[in-house]
Structure formats: structure tokens, C-alpha cells
Amino acid sequence: MEVDDILRDFEKSTQKDQDLYKSLTTAMLNERMAPELLPYQQSLLEDVLSKISSQQQFLLDSHEYGDINIDSGIITSDFKLQLMIIETDIERLNYLVRSYLRVRLSKIDKFSIHYIDMISTNRDSKLLSFEEQSYISRHFKLMTDLYNGSFLKKVPQDLAYLDTDSGISMIVKPEIDQLVFIKVNKGDIVLELEDDDELELIPGGIYIVKYSLVRRYVDIGDIELI
Amino acid sequence: MFGESANKLILDSRRTNNLPEVSLYQTELIGDILREINDLDKDMEYLQQETEALMSQGEDNEANRKIIECQQFAARLTMIRNKRCLLAYERARANKIDEFCWLNVDPTNDLTSKTSISLSKNSSLGTNFTTSLSLDNLSHPEQEYYRQYQELLVDYKSKFSDIDLSGDLEPPTNIFIDVRVLKDGGEVQTEYGVFNLIKDSQFYVRKSDVERLIQQGYLEEL
Amino acid sequence: MSIPSHLHQNLMPSEVNFLAENEMIQILPRYSMKSIQLIGTKIPNLRALRREKVPIWVALILKSQGKCNIVPPKWLELGYLKEKYDEEIKNPFKFSDLPWHWIEISKMLLSKAADDLSDPSHQLRSIIQDLKEIRLVKSKKGFTELNESNIALTGLSLLEINEIRPFVLGVMNKLREIHETIDREGEEEGEEEDDDMD
């Protein structure tokens, strides 16, 4: 391998790491701003979690044994500062993951029956992570137990079901026509509005539009929610 | 009037939803609503018998039958509405119990120091997030729910062992800070080594390591 | 709920600040320091007086420990900001293009690296304040044109967006609901007319 190749590889891996940070930030913001649950970023999260874990281990080892690159094992003040920067980095990612996962759970809880229906009909298997699927079904079971224990067992049989009410549906669904702020990453996007109107989006542009009009562009990353 | 108790329950729910605690379970009101539902159910049965009686008489009782149908309809609607109110009430309470579970602190009867520490740590929670929970305010099924949901959360969080999922939702700033020593003290041991509390010396330290020393007046943040 | 209601579809100012801290900035190291492999990025080997780019949060730590000076971004300068101010005045229907995090970054640098800036802090502060105000007036004027379907705000920074978000989305979503109700009623009426024709 030539030196150039090595350098190029090196640059590529640095690039990828930066993308990791950027992707996680975008995933968190999209999830925060979207009225509905977005597909779980499985591989991104796996990647981030494993990197946090190994960095965490590095930090522990360094506190225990000092700088392994120096024979004496002495902790220099420079090395200490480096460790502090590393710890800050871990904390920052930790926050992004925490916010990402918790905002997802809040939507999962809010629209639980809607998403349980979706899982059971297997319309979108990538929507929830494995952990979230287990969470949603267990939480739903707890809720029905609570309803039953509190009052459903004390009402006439034909009222004692959760979903048989005639009239207004009791299943809360995300309102996908809600308005959102977007930032456009790529050109050539034309949104079709009502009454045959069109809205041409310029790259870097910022707009407020209905979420339903842009969800497919959010999915492929051409548009970010902000 | 039918539905009045359910209305009261919803008003109570609206009022207490914005409190940072789970309010007292409305045992009496819920008993009233359940009684109303079951009374209405008996009425329905009675009305059904009436209808059958009218039918068997075979006379032209069109008008009477219409009246009975209306009564049945109203009774049924009230029952359904009552049930919806009960569901909404319980769901709102469960949401608040969930919130408290996320804080990962012990329930309490009054604001002990423990709870107030968790409050200062979670300044990002806003005013209506449930930050205190008294088990006495919960019904038995709710207490059971509380325990089970805690377990569920522990299980979920254990899948992300390196992430403090119950941690502050405020982004981290100044994890490390510059401090100045205000009065002499002993040696302080941290993961980042030892430092001595000698008046007027300065250190760059992890904030969480020295929070107590700042409170005790040994250090000040610069 | 697993998050407080005010965090849903909204950011805290501290979070906008956090995002700004991830932007890259040039530093002028005062000492050498070995490279650090972070999860998000790699801090290169630092050599005294050789410019490098690092995330702002790293720059601020190094700065606080006297390890570097920060090279202020080229837009954080009196002349440039005054030009932008003039642009804002000249184009009443357009926001001049300023960086995505201009307010937060200038605030951070003014409070933690004022000695590295090329112009006096109080002058920078005042022109930044003027810019903020004229832009806010503009976006408020735009509020009279709020509708139920879409609006363009190109040029606004994230912090500025975050400040007007609750109001703007509140109004637009209400308008949308009204609009939908009207549409639905219109359709129903239409159907009735169809029925009549049968």
C-alpha cells in the first residue's frame, strides 16, 4: 500500500466518524420534530453504542493504568486533559442517544395501540427496535391490567372491552398533516400542494410545510426536520 | 343528572394533570360512576322486558316503543361516555406514574431532601413533570402498575448499559470546570488524581466530583 | 411520558447551544499535544502556532486551559456584520445569509474568547443585537402572512427559528384545522348535492 492510500483510508475513516456524529444528531432532531415515529436507526445506534462502550473502557483503563503509550505509566497533565476531552465526548453522545431513545418511547406510549396494530400486521418491521417492541407490548399489557383492575371488571360484560365503542375511535394516531420546520439538503425537490400548486424547494432553504408532504424526503435524508 | 360524576372526574383530571405530583385517587367519584353504569345497565334490562311485553301484547304501540328506544339509546350513550371518562382518567394518571419512574428516585410522602436534589438535577423537566409520588395517593391497581412499570423500565434500560437513560435531558455543558479554593482543607481524591485544598490554588476538575465541596464553601466555580 | 411535554417538537435554548458547539472552528495551538481519537471526530496532532480545525466544544476546553487561541470565524467581525445589517435594511423581504448558528457562536466566543476577537466586544455585541432585532422585526412582519399550508423562511438561523416556533406552528396548525373543517364540510355539501341529483 502506498502512503497516499494509507492517508486516504485514514481520511475516509475520519470522515465516517464525523458522519456518525452528524447522523446521530440528525436522527435525534428528526425524531424530536416528526409527529410520527420514524424507522429505528438500527445500524447507526449499534455503531454508536459499541463505540461509546469501547471508549468508556479506554477511559477506565487509563484512569487505572495511566498512559499506556508511555512506559512509566505516569499521568501527565496533557494526558489528563485529553481524558477530560474524551469523557466530555462520551457525555455528549450519551445525551444524544438518551434524547433520541426517550423521545421515541414517548411517541410509542402516546400512540401505543396504533403501533401495536402496525407491528401485528407487520406493515413495517423496521419501525421499532427489538427492545421497543418488547417495551410496547409489555407496557400495553400493564395498561390493560390497570384498566381491568381499576374498573373494567366492575362494568357490564359488553362494556368491558377496550376497543368496541361505537362512534369516536379511541385509538390515538399521529397527526401527519402537522406543520414542521424543514431544512433542504438537496435540490430538485418540488412539493405538490393542494389546488395544483407547486412549491419548489431550494437547497439550503428553510420552510414550514405539512409533514406528510416531506416524510419520504426525510426518510432518504434529502430534507431534515429542524 | 347522568354523567355528572364523570364530568367531575374529568375536571379533576384536568386540574391535577398540571401538578408535579399524582393527586389522590378519586375512590368515591369512581364508585359513583361505576354504580351509575351498573344502574343504567339494569334500566336497560328493564326497558328490554318492557319492549318484549309490548310486543307480546301485539297491539299497535309504535309510539310507546319509540319512547322506550330513546330511553335505551340515552342510557347506552351515558354508559359509554362514563367508561371513556374512566379510561381517560386512568390513562392520565398512568402517564404521570410513568414520568416519575423515569426519574429513578424513591417515592415519598413529602418533599424530602432526596426529592429536591433530583429536582435541581432535572431543571429541564418543566413545571408539570411528575417529580414526586406518594404511594398513599395511588389505588391498589395503580401501586401494582407502578411496581411493574419500574421493572419494565429497568429491563429496557439494561439493554443500553453505557447510556444513562434516566439522566438529565438538558445537554451536558461544562462537565469540567475551573475552581478556586476558598479555604484550606485536606486532600481530595478523584479519578483524575489527587488535589490539595490550599487556599487560592486553582484546579480544572469534574463538576460532579466537587459539587459537595462547592456547597460546603471550600471551592468556588470560576 | 418519557419526556416532558415542552420538549416534544421543540428544542430548549441549551440544546440549540449544544448543536452549535459541534460546529468546527480554527484554533491556533500554543503548545503541542498528541492527537485524540474521539467518537465523533479526531483531534489531529497539535503543534504550536499551526492552525487546526476542531469542534467548538473542544476549542473552548483547550482555550480555558490556556492551550490555544481561537481564530474567530471571518463573519464575526464588525465590518462584515455591518454589511449584513445594511443588507437587512435594503431587502425588507429577505434575510441576509448568516451562519446557521451565528448567534450562539458569537455569544460563546464573546464570553469565553473575547481576547481572540479582532474587534472590541461591546461593539460586536451591539451590532449583533441590532441584527437580531431587525431580523426579528422582519419575521414578525411575516407573521401577518401566516397561512395554513406553507411558508419560506430561508436565511433564518436555528436559534431564531426556535424562538418563533411555538407561536408560528401554533397559529398555522390552528389555521390548518379550520381549513380542513371547511374542506370537509364543503365535500359533505357536495355529496348532498350529488344525492339530490340522483
Task: Provide the pLDDT for residue A4.
Answer: 64
Residue contact B98–A170, C-beta within 8 A = no
**Domain assignment of residue A7, yes or no:** no
Return the pLDDT at A85: 96
Tell me which residues of chain A, numbers 137 to 166, contact chain B at a CB-CB cutoff of 8 Å: 138-139, 142-143, 145-147, 149-151, 154-156, 159, 162, 165-166
Q: Are residues B144 and B189 in the same domain?
A: no
Domain limits for position A201: 175-226
The string of pLDDT tens digits covering residues B60-102 is 677 888 888 888 899 988 998 999 999 999 999 999 999 999 9
Instruction: Inform me whether the pLDDT recorded for A133 exceeds 80.
Output: yes
Q: State the best of B17, B101, B123, B125 to mutate against chain C, taking most chain C CBs within 10 Å.
A: B125
Last residue of a domain, one of B114, B130, B158: B158
- As a whole number of angstroms, the distance between CA B109 and CA B93 comes to 17
Handedness of CA C184, C187, C193, C196 (dihedral sign): negative
Claim to verify: residue B111 and residue B41 sit in the same structural domain: yes
Domain assignment present for residue B170? The answer is no
What's the mean pLDDT in B134-145? 94
Same domain, yes or no, for B52 and B147?
yes
Query: Do A42 and A102 lie in a common domain?
Result: yes
Q: Among C136, B169, B13, C184, which residue's Cα sits nearest to residue A106?
A: B169
Query: Does B171 contact A at CB distance below 8 Å?
Result: yes
pLDDT at C138: 87
pLDDT computed for residue C198 by the predictor: 41
Q: Which of these, B17, B50, B49, lies nearest to B130 by C-alpha position?
A: B17
As for how many domains chain B has, the answer is 2
For residues A155 and A99, membership in a common domain is answered with no
* List of chain A residues whose C-beta atoms are within 8 Å of the C-beta of residue B94: 143, 146
Q: Does C1-71 match C74-198 in CATH topology?
A: no
Cβ neighbours of B6 (radius 10 Å):
24
Which of C19, C46, C16, C17 has its CA nearest to residue C31? C46
Question: Are A99 and A120 part of one and the same domain?
Answer: no
**pLDDT of B115 above 50:** no
Whole-number pLDDT of residue C89 = 93
* The CATH number of domain C74-198 is 1.20.58.1020: yes
Q: If DSSP states are collapsed to H, E and C, what string results for chain A?
A: CCHHHHHHHHHHHHHHHHHHHHHHHHHHHHHHHCCCCCCCCHHHHHHHHHHHHHHHHHHHHHHHHCCCCCCCCCCCHHHHHHHHHHHHHHHHHHHHHHHHHHHHHHHHHHCHHHHHHHHHCCCCCCCCCHHHHHHHHHHHHHHHHHHHHHCHHHCCHHHCCCCCCCCCCCCCCCCCCCEEEEEECCCCEEEECHHHCEEEECCCCEEEEEHHHHHHHHHHCCEEEC
Distance from CA of B60 to the nearest CA of A (A): 31
Q: Are residues B99 and B190 in the same domain?
A: no
Subunit contact B95:C1, Cβ cutoff 8 A? yes
> C-side interface with A, Cβ within 8 Å?
1-3, 7-11, 18-19, 22, 33-34, 36, 38-43, 57-58, 61-62, 65, 67, 149-156, 158, 161, 165, 168-169, 172-173, 176, 180
Q: Cβ C3–B169 below 8 Å, yes or no? A: yes
Confirm whether B32 is domain-assigned.
yes
Q: How sure is the predictor about A3, in pLDDT bands with cuts at 50, 70 and 90?
A: low
Same structural domain, B152 and B76: yes
The answer to the question of residue B171 being in a domain is: no
Chain B partners of C5 at a C-beta cutoff of 8 Å? 126, 128-129
| CB atoms C4 and B171 under 8 Å | no
pLDDT at A2 over 80: no
The per-residue pLDDT of chain A, averaged, comes to 87
**Domain membership flag for residue A8:** no
pLDDT at B5: 92
Mean pLDDT of B9-34: 91
What subunits touch chain C, counting only 3 or more CB pairs under 8 A? A, B
The one-letter amino acid code at C133 reads: E
Does residue A207 sit in the same domain as residue A185? yes
Report the CATH number at residue A221.
3.40.5.60
Residue contacts between A and C (CB atoms, under 8 Å): 123
Q: Residue B37 is part of a domain; what is its CATH number?
A: 1.20.58.1030
Q: Which of residues 57-116 of C touch B (CB under 8 A)?
A: 61, 64-65
Name the band, by pLDDT with cuts 50, 70 and 90, for residue A136.
very high
**How far is CA A46 from each of CA A25, A102, A158, rounded to the nearest angstrom?**
15, 17, 46
**Residue B126 located in a structural domain:** yes
In this structure, is residue A204 part of a structural domain? yes
**Beta-carbon separation of C4 and B102 below 8 A:** no
**Do B151 and B190 fall within a single domain?**
no
Interface of A with C in 51-70 (CB under 8 A): 51-52, 55
Q: Is the pLDDT of residue A162 over 80?
A: no
All cell numbers assigned to A171? 385509538
The answer as to whether B70 is a domain residue is: yes
* Residues B54 and B130 grouped into a single domain: yes
Whether residues B171 and C17 touch (CB distance < 8 A) is answered with: yes
Query: Is B165 among the domain residues?
Result: no
> Which residues fall within 8 angstroms of residue C162, CB to CB, at 6 or more apart?
C10, C11, C13, C16
Q: Are residues A169 and A188 in the same domain?
A: no
Residue A125 lies inside a defined structural domain of this protein: yes
Domain that holds residue B199: 176-221
Instruction: Please name the member of B98, B128, B176 whose beta carbon is closest to the beta carbon of C5.
Output: B128
Q: Is A6 on the interface with C (CB under 8 A)?
A: no
Q: Is A65 on the interface with B (CB under 8 A)?
A: no
Nearest beta carbon to residue A94 from set B34, B141, B164: B164
Specify the pLDDT at position B116: 42
User: Are the Cβ atoms of A206 and C1 closer than 8 angstroms?
Assistant: no
pLDDT band at A176 (very low <50, low <70, confident <90, very high): very high
pLDDT of A106 strictly over 70: yes
Report yes or no on B163 lying in a domain. Answer: no
* pLDDT, average across residues B148-164: 95
Residue B25 placed within a domain: yes
Look at residue A69 in the predicted model and tell me its pLDDT: 64
Least reliable range by pLDDT among A158-162, A217-221, B111-115: B111-115
Please check whether residues A150 and A185 belong to one and the same domain.
no
Question: What is the predicted ipTM?
Answer: 0.89
pLDDT in tens, chain C (198 residues): 888 888 888 999 999 999 999 999 999 999 999 999 999 789 999 999 999 999 999 999 999 999 999 999 999 999 999 999 999 999 888 899 899 999 999 999 999 999 999 999 999 999 999 999 999 998 888 777 777 777 888 889 999 999 999 999 999 999 998 988 887 777 666 554 444 444
Task: Using the predicted structure, report yes or no on whether residue A166 has a pLDDT greater than 60.
Answer: no
Q: What CATH number has the domain spanning C1-71?
A: 3.40.5.50
Q: How far apart are CA C185 and CA C183, in angstroms?
A: 5
Please indicate, yes or no, whether residues A51 and A92 belong to a single structural domain of this protein. yes
Distance in angstroms (rounded) separating the CA atoms of residues C28 and C70: 6
Q: Is the pLDDT of residue B110 over 70?
A: no
Mean pLDDT value across residues A209-214? 95
Residue A73's pLDDT band, with cuts at 50, 70 and 90, is low
Domains in chain A, number: 3
Q: How far is A112 from chain C (nearest CA, A)?
A: 12
| Dihedral sign for Cα atoms in the order B61, B64, B67, B72 | negative
Based on the fold, state whether residues B139 and B183 are members of the same structural domain: no
Question: Which residues in chain A are contacts of C62 at CB distance < 8 A?
Answer: 81
Domain stop point among B123, B158, B193: B158
Is B87 in the same domain as B188? no
> How is chain C split into domains, by residue range?
1-71, 74-198
Q: What is the mean pLDDT of residues A143-171?
A: 80
Together in a domain, B111 and B201 = no
Look at residue A71 in the predicted model and tell me its pLDDT: 57
A187 with A204, same domain: the answer is yes
Q: Please check whether residues B10 and B103 belong to one and the same domain.
A: yes
Task: Indicate yes or no: CB of C4 within 8 angstroms of CB of B204.
Answer: no
DSSP secondary structure string for all residues of chain C = --S-GGGTT---HHHHHHHHHTSEEEEEESS-B--EE-SS-EEPPB-TT--EEEEHHHHHHHHHTTSEEEE--TTSSHHHHHHHHHHHHH-TTS-----TTHHHHHHHHHHH-GGGSSS-HHHHHHHHHHHHHHHHHHHHHHHTT--SS-EE-TT--HHHHHHHHHHHHHHHHHHHHHHHHHHHHHHHHHHHHHHHH-
On whether residue A53 sits in a domain, the answer given is yes
- B96 lies in the same domain as B134: yes
